[in-house]
């Protein structure tokens, strides 16, 4: 029944879902959202993306990735992708960094994991945030480590065409207490 809270944000099912997602992604925290796009919108504000800030994203991606940056006042910087994996080319990311760069969004296109080790090194060297867009990659791993816990924070989508679906919905996973 509606009174049980089973299908609302306050229900036991949501808390259990968040716990299981955090376990799947090997993170301390998971937070259910209304969509993957909403998760990205929330992160642009949580990570303090301001007018004039740049965030590097792949040139081949879903429109929400760039739109969330623009809605926060920032500017998406589109870089080339690898012709095999369709993911960010680490050297293209490095070449696109400017004094205005605040972060990187690594999209695991069609479930193919990005080179997170290289992107992590670049982000750390330049003191940039690193978001994983894991909307198409739940269950994928990099060197035995699950997608969704390799960046500073990750977003997930559970739309009808994703690995698992809740009809719609999304989530954020992270080890950061500040972003949870």
Catalytic residues: 162
SS (H, E, C) 3-28: HHCCCCCCCHHHHHHHHHHHHHHCCC
d(CA 82, CA 96): 15
**Distance (Å) of CA 119 to CA 55, 90, 169:** 13, 6, 27
Taken in order 168, 160, 16, 141, the sign of the CA dihedral is negative
Residue 143, SS3?
A: coil
d(CA 5, CA 34): 16
């Amino acid at each position: 029944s509606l009174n049980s809270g089973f299908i609302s944000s306050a229900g036991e099912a949501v808390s259990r879902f968040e716990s299981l997602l955090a376990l799947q992604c090997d993170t301390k925290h998971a937070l259910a959202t209304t969509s993957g796009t909403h998760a990205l919108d929330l992160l642009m504000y949580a990570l303090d993306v301001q007018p004039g800030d740049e965030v590097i994203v792949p040139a081949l991606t879903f429109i929400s990735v760039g739109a969330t940056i623009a809605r926060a006042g920032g500017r998406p910087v589109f870089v080339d992708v690898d012709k095999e994996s369709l993911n960010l080319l680490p050297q293209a990311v490095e070449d696109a960094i400017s004094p205005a760069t605040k972060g990187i969004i690594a999209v695991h296109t069609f479930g193919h994991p990005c080179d997170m080790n290289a992107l992590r090194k670049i982000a750390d060297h330049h003191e940039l945030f690193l978001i994983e867009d894991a909307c198409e990659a739940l269950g994928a791993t990099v060197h035995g480590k699950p997608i969704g816990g390799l960046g500073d924070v990750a977003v997930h989508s559970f739309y009808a065409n994703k690995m698992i679906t809740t009809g719609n919905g999304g989530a954020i996973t992270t080890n950061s207490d500040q972003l949870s």
